[in-house]
Structure 1
Amino acid sequence: MEFRHLAGFVAVAEELHFGRAAARLHIAQPPLSQQIRQLEHELGVQLFERNTRSVRLTSAGQAMLDPARQVLADLDVATRAAQAGGRGEIGRVSIGFAGASSHETLPRLTRAVRARHPGIELVLRGQTYSGEALNKVAEGELDLGFVRLPVRRDGVAVRLVEHEHLVAALPAEHRVADRNEINLPDLADEPFVTFPGTRGSAVRDALVHACVTAGFHPRIVQEAPDSYTILALVGAGVGVTLTVSSVQHIRTEGMVYRPLAGPTQPMSLALAWRRDNPSAALRCVLAVSEEAMPTPE
């Protein structure tokens, strides 16, 4: 039995006319009649009672009609699923991100993907710092990662999505909190709180680099896994920190943000993916990302 036999049977059953059924299937009537005879021979039952004036279903044909329709419907679903998968409209894409710094960019991307390609499942992996995200993308553990520029990794492509810079976060009662901008050397003797040093945090690396450039090594007294906890510790008076401008949406009692004086190190946010990743779904997500998160000038 072939699918074309079932399609021919359903067409004749619904039209109750071989000529109209053949026209509907875009074939000549004799091949359609032959298909029906072959199907009846294979099943060992008569599906239609026909004469020169009329065609009607037998009891066997009536019993077969709904299951045959279901088989053809399932075939159509399978065909459309395969075609959608080939276009990347069905699949799974894993994304690593750090958390608060993706507060605005990540929701724009996820909303746009769900609207454009509802068959693509986004698997979101939080607390994946820039260095860790880059390594996992390069090793094939993640399809897409939010990373900090510059990126120098063979086989990894990146696209800039947001410009950021470092700002200071201080306890509200800190001795320099009332200044319009902070000179980093004024924080040389302060305790610092920041991200762990073992998971590739680009923000921690930038903090250390900025302090060393200002002439001192930061005294890190406590580490925390995310910006929310770090800023809560700052508000509690545990220490000060340097963080990225994109987290200033976090409002913590007892803490203030202040810009840094002089030129600051850029903290550009980018998307990273393996150039040889074969995922069609990833290509769809990347295309959507160019609209949801266009590269800034």
Structure 2
Amino acid sequence: MEARWLEAFVAVAEELHFGRAAQRLHIAQSPLSQTIRRLESSIGTSLFDRNTRSVSLTPAGRALLPLAYRVLQDITLATAAARAASGRVHGSVRIGFSGAFNHMTLPVLARAIRRELPDVDLQLVSRVRTGDGIAKLRNGTLDIAFVGLPLGTGGDIDFRLIARSEMGAVLPVDHPLADEPEIAVRQLADDDFLSMPMDGSSTMAEGLVRCCTAAGFRPRVTQEVTDPYMMLTFVATGMGVTIAAEDLASIMPRGARWVRLSDAPSYMHHGIAWVPSEQTAAVAAVLELSQRILPTPLIPAGT
């Protein structure tokens, strides 16, 4: 009897449908049926009653199921113990990121994970804004999320600052102020603004409103864009202006320009977040590695 035979048996026993069980195991239905027949031949009795309309467990199948669970659990525990003894970290880590906002932080961390934690299966999930990332951390579909700070969330989420970037204006190159070395936010009061979603899910959108409010006006947002690079592209087409972090200046599309602000500096704070109660060994190892690869920057007092 082989472990994979028991895995096939459990899948069919839980699904009571050979097609769904085959899909779950990522195999074709014919090899699955052959595996069940080998298991039944090895045991010497039928485990399933099946016809064209239904599949059900026989008394022998019902007796085998709890024992099959136990054997598979023992194999999992034995594998984990052997891996722990080897000193190598195994497992999967799902990291959510927004895209353009993380072009300077995600690549260096991902390369370090592949280099120093080769047995960790790294899964990257794109287009995850701060609000989305927090929700996905809480529902267990992400392990780590790149986020904007502050979070303003409950105590179930831990986070750490990894970078900060000064906010500036993004203007079309033919804008009257595009060639200025710096401008005041107030000079944009009559412009149409493009923004990330204003529903509270984007700290970049909150930063835009914060800068404009401090300058004495509410921005006239004519279009909200969910993708940050697309927002910059729309600026390049002349559809409006925006305020964005300086770390986007290096990937500005042709036709758009980042311009420093003469107002009191305002910053975008970038961080990573995770749920401490849900840490696996692999997640803990990635977080420890991130401390070295993306250390918390020293910020002068009062800035």
For structure 2, which runs of at least 5 residues remain unmatched after alignment?
1-76, 299-303
Query: Structure 1-normalised TM-score?
Result: 0.70
Q: Return 222-231 or 268-277, whichever deviates more.
A: 222-231
Q: Distance in 2 between matches of 1:148 and 1:89?
A: 29
Aligned partner of 2:219 in structure 1 is 218
- SS class of match (1:148): strand
Deviation at 1:139, TM superposition (A): 3.6
Question: Taking structure 1 as reference, are residues 104 and 84 closer, same or farther at Cα in structure 2, changes over 3 Å only?
Answer: farther
Aligned partner of 1:112 in structure 2 is 112
Alignment-mate amino acid for residue 277 of structure 1 = E
Alignment-mate amino acid for residue 294 of structure 1 = P
Residues 7-18 of structure 1: pairs in structure 2 closer than 5 A: none
Residues 1-297 of structure 1: pairs in structure 2 closer than 5 A: 82-84=81-83, 89-152=89-152, 153-198=154-199, 200-297=201-298
Deviation at 1:229, TM superposition (A): 0.9
- SS class of match (2:147): strand
Contact 1:88 1:279 survives alignment (8 Å) = no
Deviation at 1:253, TM superposition (A): 1.6
For structure 1, which runs of at least 5 residues remain unmatched after alignment?
1-77
CA displacement 1:185-221 (0-9 Å, x = unmatched): 1100100112122360110111012111211111111
Q: Distance in 2 between matches of 1:125 and 1:187?
A: 35
Alignment-mate amino acid for residue 190 of structure 2 = D
Q: Return 149-158 or 232-241, whichever deviates more.
A: 149-158
Contact 2:185 2:263 survives alignment (8 Å) = no
Q: Distance in 2 between matches of 1:251 and 1:211?
A: 22
Rg larger in structure: 1
How many residues align? The count is 223
Q: Report sequence identity in percent.
A: 35
RMSD value over aligned CA atoms?
Answer: 2.3
Contact 2:249 2:257 survives alignment (8 Å) = no
Q: Distance in 2 between matches of 1:236 and 1:266?
A: 26
Alignment-mate amino acid for residue 237 of structure 2 = A
Query: Structure 2-normalised TM-score?
Result: 0.68
Contact 2:148 2:202 survives alignment (8 Å) = no
Q: Return 208-217 or 148-157, whichever deviates more.
A: 148-157
Deviation at 1:134, TM superposition (A): 2.0
